């Protein structure tokens, strides 16, 4: 390669980078309030995400019918963590958008868990109803068997009476 060509590439690269940096600084693409995301905000966000994950797992394993108070307590804690994610961060717009989207996603997961819980409850109620129906059917079958046995015995009695008559 030619040395003058290398110099031309380097000068063009530095000049283009400088112009790009000037436009970036002038257009205000940095954080909206002049501050970036602080380490404390990032730590709080990660803490909220970890808490939301663990609560989501616990909530999925908790039966709302048998452990109703624990289920509602976990759901309340989950909603607090989601609320902090959706509204609690006032840093730059990208971080705020990320935390809001994360909060909305956890909110959707919470709705899914609530739907699954109501489905489990509905299935349990349906199972109880079916058990009751089966028990009722068993008693009715026993009643029919008893009636059949009585009819057979009365039929045999009629046959013996008929056989003894001339």
pLDDT score, position 145? 92
Q: What are 77-102's pLDDT values in tens digits?
A: 888 877 777 776 666 667 777 777 77
Residue 108 lies in a domain: yes
Residue 18, SS3 per DSSP: helix
Host domain of residue 60: 38-164
pLDDT score, position 140? 92
Query: 0.85 cut: is pTM over it?
Result: no
Residue 25 lies in a domain: no
Residue 21 lies in a domain: no
Can you list the residues of the chain whose pLDDT is less than 70?
1-2, 5, 23, 25-37, 88-93
Residue 8 lies in a domain: no
Residue 139 lies in a domain: yes
pLDDT score, position 29? 46
Rounded Cα gap, residues 52 and 117, in angstroms = 18
Exposure letters 38-74 (e unless 16+ CB within 10 A, then b) = eeebeebbeebbebbeebbeebeebebeeeeeebeeb
pLDDT score, position 85? 73
Number of domains in the chain: 1
Residue 28 lies in a domain: no
Residue 45 lies in a domain: yes
pLDDT score, position 28? 56
Contact 59, 74 (CB under 8 A): yes
Rounded Cα gap, residues 149 and 124, in angstroms = 38
Residue 156 lies in a domain: yes
pLDDT score, position 146? 93
Contact 82, 106 (CB under 8 A): yes
pLDDT score, position 31? 47
pLDDT score, position 58? 79
Q: What are 37-51's pLDDT values in tens digits?
A: 677 777 877 787 888
């Amino acid at each position: 390669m030619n040395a003058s060509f290398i110099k031309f590439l380097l000068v063009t690269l530095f000049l283009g980078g400088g112009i790009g940096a000037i436009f970036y600084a002038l257009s205000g693409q940095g954080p909206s309030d002049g501050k970036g995301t602080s380490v404390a905000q990032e730590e709080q966000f990660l803490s909220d995400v970890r808490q939301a994950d663990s609560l989501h797992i616990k909530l999925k394993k908790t039966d709302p019918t048998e452990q109703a108070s624990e289920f509602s307590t976990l759901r309340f804690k989950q909603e607090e963590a989601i609320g902090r994610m959706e509204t609690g961060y006032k840093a730059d717009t990208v971080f705020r958008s990320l935390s809001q989207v994360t909060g909305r996603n956890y909110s959707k997961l919470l709705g899914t868990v609530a739907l699954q819980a109501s489905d489990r409850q509905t299935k349990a109620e349906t199972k109880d109803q079916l058990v009751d129906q089966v028990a009722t059917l068993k008693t009715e079958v026993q009643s029919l068997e008893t009636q059949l046995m009585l009819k057979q015995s009365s039929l045999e009695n009629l046959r013996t009476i008929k056989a003894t008559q001339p």
